[in-house]
Every structure is written in structure tokens, then in C-alpha cells.
């Protein structure tokens, strides 16, 4: 029933909701978009001066390190994402898969290149899952390590407290984020305000740290490190994690609120806090044990710990919600099998809960926490997935600006080369941590890429097999003698992947029950590589002979499928589909791996297993369960 298509549908557009104030959207964007990058000060500076980086803890290196963080935020986050990449929207939507669809459409006339970009984009999306495991673990661990600052006696409770908070967070997912989401913005605004204020206070004590605003200190810091520069860069990357969220969440808030939030609050607060940590360490090098919490007077430690914990939970929530959204997009674009989706808000279609994804994430996050046990150990695993995603984003954006927007080649190539050089340095800095934990998100990404590419290729082979062995629909209708078959006075909807072939469920019904319905609807659902398909473009209806109709229902990858609701729209095309007089006939294909030129045998078996365990069509497309008849058929690939 589900059949992705890559060509854009004319008339596709984003949905238009009620007017919301720019201030309200900006506040919401602060709460959701910036939680991840906002918790980076918990551990970044400490990791830069960890023993394995070889960076001496003295005033010149403190100035150089903070300068590098500041200019990394300016070049990578501000210039690359906030100024440039936020303009590469797919009908208002952003994120890895939206950008992939945009790039693929820009090179549609070159099939080989288009296929390569699709695979590259899917690999980038799989890396997000690695980030989804590490972000909650490192954020909550980093916050809980404040217990050690309160008193060393609480050190044994850091990991148990982290595990308890994470379990509670994932258990709450089933209730949706609508209620808790209202508090995200104000809490994160308070968090950034505190970051900026405490940083400014320490800058006032050691104003010499302001020399870090000179980019020459960043250049001197990097160039003087020699081959050890990669170890330092691998730690500095921690300040940039969460940058992809700016682009991924654009569809929820729009470009302007995200840009205003960054320039008006987030960037100044982060800059002040990193400068403040540098100033603190210039006056008290012993604070390197935990420079973030050492910024606070002892009486403020407990409130700071509570606020940091709330910020870490919000950062984790944003990543978890993003994982649900990404998984739903991947399903609708044809890269993952159907999974159970629950909609947790009657008003906000983007608020979803996926039980299978949720429990898999919880298991993965807890494994990460129990295996690494500290934010410092986990920092070794953090970064490589993020930086590779950044590099893939740069490559895909080139094809959008050059092939899609038709910018002059020197401009497109020059900008791409500049950002690729930065990306390459960041990837190299994280690559040296591969054996210390960097292998984890990369391995997870590769495994998911195998699953997603296998599912996509398997569906293509399945469609080829159905077309090859099926009976052409037009021939069947032309040869049909309506008088020789009993006609039931109801409507039958046959959900199929190929609208030109007679549904196997129809043939079974005719063979075993010797009956045809008065109206037979051959239904195909197509997902396009645009985020939204408006209601006026939702259905295409074609009347055939002998009571047969061909209906195509169109969705974007952000739309919520609802077949009964879509079929209500066919009445204006002359086809009435009464809700209580309609039966839905589904064909459940049992995939049979066969030797041949399809896929490797192990991949065909993997696809067969995935197909067997795919979620039900009934729930995914919101079909009325008491009106569904499901018939099985074996399909060799």
C-alpha cells in the first residue's frame, strides 16, 4: 500500500496554521532547538584540558582554547547554519531527510547521482540515531556530576541518579510533550540567562580573557598544537553538538524565530559562559576538576544542579522527539518498515509517540550510561556522528545551491570548499577517538544504514515481482462479464502497491467467495519527497469500467496518513465511499527469498524478516479495524 515517490507533486505546500506571535515562536524555539547545544558548557572546557589532549592549563592556552570555541560557534553555527543552511528549506521543512529530498530533486535528471545522494543522506540520517543515544546520556551524566562538587561522598550516586532520571524521562513519553513543552522555553531562557550572568561575573574578575575574541588567538592555538591539534579539536567539537537541531526543527518554528533566538540570547550566553570558565581557570587552575559548577558560589551549587538537570532533561527530550519524527519520515519515504505510531495531541500532528523506538532508545541510552559511566569517558564517543552529519549536510547543500538555486559555480564551490575544510578538521579531530568510543555511534549508524538500504531495495524487488507475476488490471476489467459474477451492494477498497495490477486480495475474493462488490476501489498511497501535500491535492480519482475506480491518495513525508478521511474527498469526483458500507481488503505479502540477481541471500532473508515484523497497515493508515479483511500471498524476490 505504501509506495514512496521522489518526484515533487505540483501544488505541494506547508500547512498554514493560525497566526502565532514571533515572540511566542522564538520562546518555543529556545526551549526545543537549543537544549542540546545549551548543555555543552557542562563538559566542553573540562575535556579540552583533559590529560589526553596534551593542552597545558595556562593563560595563553586558556585564551587560545576559548577563542577557538568562540570562533567555532561563529563560523559553524552562526555562518553555516543560521545564515546559510536555514535558507535551504524543503517547503518550510528542514533536517537531514528533507535536505536529501531537496538535493535529490535538484539532480533528478542524473539518476546515478541522485541515487548516490539519497544513500548519502540516509547514512547521515542513521548517524542521528547514534547522537540520540549519546545526547541524553552525556547531558544527564554531566548534570549529575554536580553531585560530586556538592560533596565527594555523593560520587557513587552519580550513575544511579542518571539511570533513574532517564528511566523516568522515557516512561513519560507515552503522555506526550504537550504539557511539559509549555515549560521548556522559560526554563531554558532561565538557563541561558544564568549561563551568561555567571560567565560575565567571572569575566569581570579576569578581563584578560576577553583577548579570546581575537581570532588570531584561535589560529595560534590550533597551529601551535602540531599533530596534537586533532585531540584538542575533538574536544572543542563538543561545543557544537546540537547545531544540526537548528536546521532539523525549522519546520516547527520557522527560520526567523530560530535566528532571533540564536543571535539574541543563545550565542551571547554561550560565549559569556565559555569566556567565564576561561577566566575562572586563569585565576584558579584547580577548578579544572569541574569548571562549570566551580563558577557558582557554594550556596548556589544546589540550585545550579537542579537547573542543569532540568536543562539536560529538556535537551534529551528534544533529541527523543526528533528521533520519533525522523523515524516517521524514514517510514514514509520508504526506508523503514511501518511501526506503531501514537498521536499524543489532537491539535498538534507533530506530537507523536512510537513505543518500539522509545524502548529501543531507552535500552541503548542505559547501555551507554552503564558502559561509559562518566561524561569524560562518553565525550570520546561523542562528536564523530555529529561532525560526519555536518559534512554530509555541506555536500548535500552544494547540490541544492548549485543545481537547484543555480548560484554561480565559483560561489557554490568556494563556500562548499570552505565549510568542507572546517568539517574535515572536525571529523579528523573526532576520528582519533575512534577506539576510545567513537566506534559506537559509527557502528550503530552503519548497522542502521544496512537495515534502511536493505528495506528500500527489498521493496523495489517486491514491486518488480508483483508487476512481473501479476495480472494487468485493464485487461482483467476488459474481459470481465459483470453478469457472470454476483455483485455485493457494498464498496470494496483494495489497498495495493501497484495500481496497474489486479490485487491478489481481489482474485482471492473472486476465487473463493465468487463475488465482486458493486464498487471496487483500487487504492494506492504515495508519499512524496515534499513535507506537506495540501488537502486539495490529497486524492486523484479515475473511473474505470464495470464499477471499478482507481484512487491515489497523496501525502508528504510530514503528513499524517488517514485513509478513511482522505476517501471522503472522493465524493466530489463522483465516488461515494460510505463509512459503514465499506470493506478494506489487504494483501499481506510473505516474502520468499530466492537465489538470483536481486540482493545477497543474507539481505533477502533480512528483508523477509523485517517485512514479517513490520507494523500493521490498519493502525498506520487509521483504517477501521472492524471493516478490514486481510488475505495472505507469497511473493518471491
Q: What is the helix (H) or strand (E) element at residue 602, kind and residue range? A: helix 601-612
pLDDT digits (tens, 9 = 90+) for 514-559: 888 989 999 999 988 787 888 999 999 999 998 999 999 999 887 8
User: Does residue 12 contact residue 534 with C-beta atoms inside 8 Å?
Assistant: yes
**pLDDT higher than threshold 90 for residue 97:** no
Q: 273 vs 10, 239, 277, 292, 293, CA distance in Å?
A: 48, 12, 6, 9, 11
Residue % of the chain over a pLDDT of 90? 43
Residue located via cell numbers 501535500:
533
CA distances from 619 to 342, 422, 492 (A): 9, 45, 19
d(CA 553, CA 524): 6
Average pLDDT over residues 25-34: 83
Q: What is the pLDDT of residue 74?
A: 97
Element of type H or E holding 283: helix 267-283
Q: What is the mean pLDDT of residues 424-448?
A: 89
Task: Tell me the pLDDT tens digit for each residue of 42-66.
Answer: 999 999 999 888 899 999 999 999 9
Lowest model confidence (mean pLDDT) among 319-323, 334-338, 569-573: 319-323
Domains by residue range for the chain, with CATH: 23-432 (1.20.1740.10), 465-636 (no CATH)
pLDDT in tens, 265-274: 999 999 999 9
Model confidence over 364-417: pLDDT tens digits?
999 999 998 888 888 878 788 889 999 999 999 999 988 888 889 999 999 999
pLDDT value at position 268? 97
CB atoms within 10 A of CB 99: 27
Mean pLDDT of 243-258: 81
227 pLDDT more than 60: yes
Q: What is the DSSP letter of 562?
A: -
Could you report the per-residue pLDDT of 329-338, keeping only the tens digit for each? Answer: 888 888 899 8
pTM of the entire structure? 0.80
Q: 141-157, pLDDT tens digit by residue? A: 988 988 888 888 888 89
Confidence of residue 165 (pLDDT cuts 50, 70, 90): very high
Long-range pairs, 311-314, Cβ under 8 A, ≥24: 311/35, 311/38, 311/39, 311/139, 311/143, 311/187, 311/188, 311/191, 312/39, 312/42, 312/136, 312/139, 312/140, 312/142, 312/143, 313/139, 313/140, 313/165, 313/169, 314/31, 314/35, 314/184, 314/187, 314/188
Q: Which of 212, 207, 209, 202 is nearest to 68 (CA)?
A: 212
Whole-angstrom Cα distance, residue 117 to residue 111? 10
Residue range 162-175: average pLDDT?
A: 88
**81 has pLDDT over 50:** yes
Compute the mean pLDDT over every residue in the chain, rounded to the nearest whole number: 87
Mean pLDDT value across residues 435-457 = 90
Please give the average per-residue pLDDT across 81-110, as a whole number: 84
Residue 504 has pLDDT above 50, yes or no: yes
Amino acid at each position: 500500500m505504501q509506495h514512496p515517490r521522489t518526484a515533487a507533486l505540483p501544488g505541494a505546500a506547508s500547512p498554514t496554521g493560525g497566526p502565532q506571535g514571533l515572540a511566542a515562536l522564538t520562546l518555543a524555539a529556545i526551549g526545543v532547538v537549543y537544549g542540546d547545544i545549551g548543555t555543552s558548557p557542562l563538559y566542553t572546557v573540562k575535556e579540552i584540558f583533559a590529560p589526553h589532549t596534551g593542552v597545558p592549563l595556562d593563560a595563553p592556552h586558556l585564551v587560545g582554547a576559548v577563542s577557538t570555541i568562540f570562533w567555532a560557534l561563529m563560523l559553524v553555527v552562526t555562518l553555516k547554519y543560521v545564515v546559510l543552511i536555514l535558507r535551504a528549506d524543503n517547503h518550510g521543512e528542514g533536517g537531514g531527510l528533507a535536505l536529501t529530498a531537496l538535493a535529490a530533486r535538484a539532480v533528478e535528471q542524473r539518476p546515478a547521482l541522485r541515487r548516490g545522494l539519497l544513500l548519502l543522506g540516509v547514512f547521515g540520517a542513521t548517524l542521528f540515531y547514534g547522537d540520540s543515544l549519546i545526547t541524553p546520556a552525556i547531558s544527564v551524566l554531566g548534570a549529575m556530576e554536580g553531585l560530586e562538587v556538592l560533596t565527594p561522598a555523593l560520587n557513587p550516586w552519580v550513575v544511579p541518579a542518571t539511570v533513574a532520571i532517564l528511566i523516568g524521562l522515557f516512561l513519560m513519553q507515552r503522555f506526550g510533550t504537550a504539557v511539559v513543552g509549555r515549560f521548556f522555553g522559560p526554563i531554558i531562557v532561565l538557563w541561558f540567562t544564568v549561563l551568561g550572568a555567571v560567565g560575565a561575573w567571572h569575566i569581570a574578575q579576569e578581563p584578560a580573557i576577553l583577548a579570546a575574541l581575537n581570532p588570531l588567538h584561535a589560529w595560534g592555538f590550533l597551529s601551535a598544537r602540531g599533530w596534537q591539534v586533532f585531540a584538542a579539536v575533538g574536544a572543542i567539537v563538543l561545543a557544537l553538538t546540537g547545531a544540526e537541531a537548528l536546521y532539523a526543527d525549522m519546520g516547527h518554528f520557522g527560520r526567523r524565530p530560530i535566528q532571533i533566538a540564536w543571535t539574541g540570547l543563545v550565542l551571547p550566553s554561550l560565549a559569556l559562559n565559555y569566556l567565564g570558565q576561561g577566566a575562572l581557570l586563569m585565576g584558579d587552575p584547580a577548578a579544572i576538576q569541574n569548571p562549570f559548577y566551580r563558577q557558582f558560589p557554594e550556596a548556589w551549587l544546589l540550585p545550579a544542579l537542579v537547573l542543569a538537570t532540568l536543562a539536560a532533561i529538556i535537551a534529551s527530550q528534544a533529541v527523543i522527539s526528533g528521533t520519533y519524527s525522523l523515524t516517521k519520515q524514514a517510514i514514509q519515504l520508504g526506508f523503514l518498515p511501518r511501526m506503531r505510531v501514537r498521536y499524543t495531541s489532537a491539535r498538534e500532528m507533530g506530537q507523536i509517540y512510537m513505543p518500539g523506538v522509545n524502548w529501543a532508545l531507552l535500552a541503548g541510552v542505559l547501555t551507554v550510561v552503564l558502559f561509559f559511566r562518566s561524561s569524560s569517558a562518553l565525550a570520546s564517543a561523542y562528536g564523530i556522528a555529529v561532525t560526519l552529519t555536518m559534512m554530509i549536510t555541506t555536500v548535500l547543500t552544494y547540490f541544492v545551491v548549485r543545481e537547484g538555486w543555480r548560484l554561480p559555480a565559483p560561489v557554490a564551490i568556494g563556500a562548499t570548499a570552505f565549510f568542507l575544510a572546517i568539517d574535515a578538521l572536525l571529523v579528523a579531530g573526532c576520528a582519533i577517538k575512534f577506539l576510545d568510543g567513537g566506534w559506537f555511534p559509527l557502528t550503530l549508524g552503519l548497522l542502521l544504514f544496512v537495515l534502511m538500504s536493505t528495506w528500500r531495495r527489498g521493496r523495489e524487488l517486491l514491486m518488480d515481482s508483483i508487476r512481473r507475476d501479476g495480472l494487468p488490471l485493464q485487461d482483467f476489467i476488459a474481459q470481465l462479464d459483470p453478469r457472470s459474477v454476483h455483485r455485493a451492494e457494498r464498496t470494496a477498497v483494495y489497498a495495493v502497491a501497484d495500481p496497474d495490477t489486479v490485487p491478489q486480495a481481489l482474485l482471492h475474493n473472486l476465487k473463493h467467495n465468487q463475488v465482486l462488490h458493486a464498487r471496487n476501489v483500487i487504492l494506492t498511497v504515495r508519499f512524496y519527497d515534499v513535507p506537506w501535500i495540501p488537502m486539495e491535492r490529497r486524492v486523484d480519482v479515475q473511473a474505470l469500467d464495470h464499477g471499478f475506480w482507481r484512487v491515489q491518495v497523496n501525502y508528504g513525508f510530514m503528513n499524517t496518513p488517514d485513509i478513511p478521511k482522505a476517501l471522503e474527498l472522493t465524493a466530489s469526483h463522483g465516488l461515494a465511499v460510505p463509512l459503514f458500507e465499506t470493506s478494506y481488503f489487504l494483501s499481506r505479502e510473505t516474502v520468499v527469498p530466492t537465489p538470483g540477481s536481486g540482493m545477497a541471500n543474507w539481505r533477502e532473508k533480512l528483508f523477509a524478516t523485517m517485512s514479517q515484523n513490520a507494523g500493521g497497515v490498519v493502525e498506520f493508515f487509521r483504517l477501521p479495524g472492524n471493516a478490514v479483511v486481510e488475505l495472505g500471498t507469497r511473493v518471491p524476490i
